[in-house]
Amino acid sequence: MSTLGYWGNVTAVINWCEKDYAVSWYIAEFWNSISNLPFIILALIGVFHSFYFRLGLRNALQYMAVMVVGGGSFLFHCTLLFRAQMWDEVPMVL
């Protein structure tokens, strides 16, 4: 594939239905990327509340896991690179 945007050639195995770099030159799949922000934001709030209300490390780690899934998916949809795809898929499997 040719260079379509900021991140260079698309190396991911999967390319979703959204047109690449249609909204921004920096984000390959804009709306798929943006839809992951609530996962990251709400997980950050959960981590903060876990420590603020002394709910324990186990509770905070669960929110951190959600943050890794949302962050990996955001990274993948922004770049459409294979290594970012692994950050999207492996945390979901784990």
Q: Which pLDDT band, with edges at 50, 70 and 90, does 2 fall under? A: very low
Let me know if residue 37 belongs to a domain: yes
Q: What range defines the domain where residue 39 resides?
A: 30-93
Q: What is the pLDDT of residues 14-36, one digit of tens each?
A: 888 888 999 999 999 999 999 99
94: helix, coil or strand? coil
Let me know if residue 22 belongs to a domain: no
Let me know if residue 24 belongs to a domain: no
Let me know if residue 46 belongs to a domain: yes
Q: CA–CA separation, 52 vs 33, rounded Å?
A: 29
Looking up tokens 């795809």, which residue turns up? 85
Q: What is the pLDDT of residues 36-88, one digit of tens each?
A: 999 999 999 999 999 999 999 999 999 999 999 999 999 999 999 999 999 99
Report how many domains make up the chain: 1
Let me know if residue 59 belongs to a domain: yes
